[in-house]
Amino acid sequence: MGLSYDNIIDADGHILEPADTWERYIDPAFRDRALRISKRDGKDVLEIDGKPSAFFDVKVLTMLGAMGKTTEELVSMMEQPYPGNAPFGSMDPSERVKHLDSEGIAKAILYPSLGLTWECEVTDPKLSMAYARAYNRWICDFCADTGGRLIAAAHISLADPAGAAQELERAVEAGARGAFLAPYTLTRLPHAHPDHDLFWATAQELDVPVAIHPMAEHPKIRTYQRFDGMGAAGWMQNALGMQGPQQAFYGLFQWGLFDRFPDIKAILLESGAGWIGAALDRMDTTYATSLGDNVPLKEKPSVYFKKQCWISGDPDERALAHIIDYVGDDRFFWATDYPHFDHPGNYMEELEELVAPLSEKARNNILGESAAAVYGV
């Protein structure tokens, strides 16, 4: 069949950062504490703040570029040093543009891989800001000479709200078109807590969309670990990994973000999208009862979602087509997650199947029109 729309946008692609990215781009005062892959006892180790990562075996990191690989191939890749057999377009901007061309994709909004590991282990707000700033410098350089084909999203940590606002402003000036947050905070304050208002005010003033994106989570807050042994159940861990970002997203409503900042643009990424219809129904229903009395919103939650929120769906979400019209076809993006291993590699075929039953308007919105409008690309 083929997709006739000419501005297809991957709303959530990934790159494999070189292992020395943070050492090269971090502020000199923090260089000895930079995220890095180092040798300890003859073995590669992911090092965070001068210590081996408490949660990551460096072998797992080579799997970040293993989209479409078999179990046997994954085992083989884990014996290689990071980044392993990095797939085409995962580490070089000119290659990534050629990869987009081969898939018929016009643009990709890019997110990290190594950079998704550290925020659950860094407890020093100044170091959190330094790590985020280093990555943002690098990703803006990575995307700079691609004619707008590759789009940088800045990593922002809310560990220091004033610093987060400053870094957002700096990153946008350097070329970032969006920002993203971990689905948790160092302080355990919800993202929309008033203590973070300076950041949200800055995002609104700059007209920068802010996404919540899954990241590595500390075992103490992993929602799927209420039963013993679930941390080792990789399939279930991945299937339930969306619960943390979903909770963070619900919190934007509970804490009244959208009335305080009526022009903020909030996005939920890589957390599924087929559930959002039922979620909005449930939020609206409970908002209309006494349970909604302590929710500081002037309107029911679905009203804000349909004005200020967007969500990305995976091409393999067969149920998604059935709720798009109900929620609003201009609220959805699609994403590849390329080159991460937890999605199959035939995403363009699946994307064709996903949009085939939709109207032309809905199809174009999902393929790229909505993302283009939100990110100004």
The pLDDT, as a whole number, for residue 225 is 66
Beta bridge pairs of residue 37: 46
**pLDDT average, residue stretch 312-317:** 94
Q: Is the pLDDT of residue 1 over 70?
A: no
What is the C-alpha radius of gyration for the chain, rounded to an integer number of angstroms?
A: 20
Band the pLDDT of 39: cuts 50, 70, 90.
confident
Kindly provide the b/e burial profile for residues 264-290, where b requires at least 16 CB atoms within 10 angstroms of the residue's own CB: bbbbbbbbbbbbbbebbeebbeebeee
How high is the pLDDT of residue 172?
Answer: 98
Kindly give the interhelix angle for 243-254 and 276-287, rounded to the nearest 10 degrees: 30
Give the mean pLDDT of the chain. Answer: 93
**β partners of residue 312:** 333
pLDDT digits (tens, 9 = 90+) for 340-354: 988 888 999 999 999
Alpha helix locations (H) across 47-124?
58-61, 71-77, 93-103
What is the reported pLDDT for 73?
87
Helices and strands (H and E) in the chain: how many: 16, 11
| Residue 210 dihedral angles phi and psi, to the nearest 5° | -120, 120
Neighbours of 321 (CB within 10 A): 18
**pLDDT one-digit tens code per residue, 64-122:** 898 988 888 888 888 888 888 899 999 999 999 999 999 999 999 999 999 999 999 99
- The predicted model scores a pTM of 0.95
Range list of H helices, 175-265: 197-206, 234-240, 243-254, 257-260
Question: Per the CATH hierarchy, to which homologous superfamily does domain 9-18+90-375 belong?
Answer: Metal-dependent hydrolases (3.20.20.140)
How many C-beta atoms surround the C-beta of residue 234 within 10 A? 10
Q: Tens digit of pLDDT for each residue in 118-160?
A: 999 999 999 999 999 999 999 999 999 999 999 999 999 999 9
One-letter amino acid at 156 equals I
Rounded Cα gap, residues 264 and 210, in angstroms: 8
212-266, pLDDT tens digit by residue? 999 988 777 777 667 777 656 577 777 777 888 999 999 999 999 999 999 999 9
**Residues 200 and 181: beta-carbon distance below 8 Å:** no
Q: What is the pLDDT of residue 106?
A: 98
Average pLDDT over residues 43-61: 89
Tell me how far apart the alpha carbons of residues 304 and 4 are, in angstroms, rounded to a whole number.
32
pLDDT over 90 at 269, yes or no:
yes
Q: What is the pLDDT of residue 230?
A: 66
Q: What is the pLDDT of residue 262?
A: 98
Q: Long-range contacts made by residues 162-166, C-beta under 8 angstroms, separation at least 24? A: 162/198, 163/125, 163/126, 163/129, 164/129, 164/196, 164/198, 164/199, 165/198, 165/199, 165/201, 165/202
Given this model, what pLDDT does residue 232 score? 61
pLDDT per residue as tens digits for the range 167-222: 999 999 999 999 999 999 999 999 999 999 999 999 999 999 999 999 988 777 77
Q: What percent of the chain has pLDDT over 90?
A: 79
| CA distance linking residue 274 with residue 313, whole number of Å | 7
The pLDDT assigned to 343 comes to 82
What confidence score (pLDDT) does residue 98 get?
Answer: 98
Task: Give pLDDT, residue 233.
Answer: 58
